[in-house]
Structure 1
Amino acid sequence: MEEKVVIDKLKEFHGHICPGLLIGYQVSNIFLREFKKPKDEEIVAIVETDACSIDAIQFMTGCTLGKGNLIIRNYGKHVYTFINRKSRDAIRIALDFEKAKNFDWSKGKIPPKDMFNIKRMKIKRLPRKARIRESIRCEMCGEGVMKGKEKKFKGKIICAPCYKSLLRNSKNL
C-alpha cells in the first residue's frame, strides 16, 4: 500500500495526524522491513510509551492489546521492541533524542529512518502469551472478574475496584 493511503487510513483510525502517529508509522515500517506482518500472535511488540504511536503500531503490524501481543511498559520513551516468538529474533527501535529535538515536527512530516537507533538481538526469555481464564462473580458488585484478578476480603471474592473502595472507606471510619 502506498504511503499516502496508509497515512489516510491511520488518520481515519486515530482521528488526526500528529507527531506520535507518524513516529509509530515509521517504527512500523522499519519493523515490517525486518519481519513479515504477523498472521496472529507470533510477533509481540513491547512499547515503552502510551502515546499516539501505539495506534499506528496496532493498525500496521497487527500487534494489539486485545490479542495480548502488544505490551505497554510506559516509561515515557519512544522505544519499541518487536520479538518473533518462534525464532526469538528481535529488533529494538528507539527514537534518537538529539535528532528528534532538531526535527521540525510542525509540518506533519514523517520522521526519517535515520532518526531511529536500531538494534537487532536474540531474546532469551519471551513475554508470556495472553491467558484466557474463566470469569467469577464479584460478591460485592455482581460483575464478572477474570479468575486470578479477584481479591479476597473477609472470605468474599471481590473485584479490584470494589476492594479499593473498601480500603478507601475503611480509612475514613
Structure 2
Amino acid sequence: MESFETLLAGSARAHGHLCPGQVVGVRMAMLGCELIGLDNPSQMPQIKKLVVYVEIDRCATDAIAYVTGVKLGRRSLKFLDNGIMAATFVNLETGVAYRIVSTESSRDLACEYAPGIDDIRQQQLEGYKNMPDHVLFNIMPVHVDVPVNDMPGPSRFKIRCESCGIMVRDKKEVLLNGRVLCRSCAYGAHYEPLQPNLQLKTA
C-alpha cells in the first residue's frame, strides 16, 4: 500500500479538498485493510476480496473509498445510514472482519497532538495525523455474514413489482399483504410525481 501522505493527497484531490475527515478516513481504511490482511486492496486480485460497510455519508467515506477502491457500482461499498463515523472491513476470502469507529474523544484531544495550532480545523487535521490508532479509533473484531444477494458480481436475482411494474434486483423487494412490491410502493417514495412518465421523442 502507498504511504499515508501519498494516499491523503490523492484522497483530497478526489474529494475536492483536504479536511480532518479525509485524515480520519485514510487512516481508518489503511488500518482496516491491514487488520484483514490486504495490502493492495484497490488492485486485482485483492479488489475481489474486499467489502466495506460505511455508516455515514461524510468526508471520511470518500477517503475510505479512495484508499480501498470499493465502489457502490461494484457492490463492494455498502452504505448503512446510521450517522456514525464508522466502517467495517470484510475479507471475503478469509472471513476476517473489523469494525472501526472514530472516537468522539479524539476531537478534544487534538490540541494535545497538535500543540501551538489555534485554528480548530487545522488543529484537528494535524492532531488526527499524529494520534495513535487506539486514541483515534475504537477497534473491534466482528463477524459479518454477507448475504449472497449482497455479494459483488452480476445480479443473481430479479423480480417485477406487482404495483408499478419496475424490475427489482438483488432481493430488495418487499412482500406486503401477499404482494411483491418495490420499496417505494411498499413504504412510500422519496419523490412525488408531478405528471405521468414522459415518453421522450426521438429524432
Q: Is the 8 A contact 2:88 2:100 kept in 1?
A: yes
The number of residues matched between the two structures is 158
Match of 1:106 among 94, 118, 121: 121
Shift of 1:15: 0.4
Shift of 1:78: 1.1
Match of 2:151 among 129, 145, 155: 129
Q: Counterparts of 1:1-173 in structure 2 under 5 Å? A: 1-34=2-35, 35-36=37-38, 37-38=40-41, 39-104=46-111, 106-107=121-122, 108-109=125-126, 111=128, 112=131, 113-114=133-134, 115-121=136-142, 123=143, 125-127=145-147, 128-130=150-152, 131-132=154-155, 147=169, 164=189, 165=192
What TM-score comes out, normalization by structure 2 length?
A: 0.63
Q: Please give the alpha-carbon distance, in whole angstroms, between the structure 1 residues aligned to 2:68 and 2:127.
A: 18
Q: Deviations over 1:58-100 (max 9, x none)?
A: 1111222111111111211111111112221111111122233
Q: CA RMSD in A?
A: 3.5
Q: Please give the alpha-carbon distance, in whole angstroms, between the structure 2 residues aligned to 1:85 and 1:150.
A: 25
Give the letter for the 1:117 counterpart: N
Extract structure 1 runs of 4+ deviating beyond 6 A.
133-136, 148-151
What TM-score comes out, normalization by structure 1 length?
A: 0.72
What stretches of structure 2 of length at least 5 have no aligned partner? 112-119, 175-181, 196-203
Secondary structure, counterpart of 2:110 in structure 1: coil
Equivalent pairs: percent with the same residue?
A: 22
Q: 1:6 to 1:110 in 2, by over 3 A?
A: farther
Q: Please give the alpha-carbon distance, in whole angstroms, between the structure 2 residues aligned to 1:101 and 1:126.
A: 36
Q: Please give the alpha-carbon distance, in whole angstroms, between the structure 2 residues aligned to 1:103 and 1:110.
A: 5
Q: Please give the alpha-carbon distance, in whole angstroms, between the structure 2 residues aligned to 1:28 and 1:134.
A: 33
Partner residue, 2:115: none
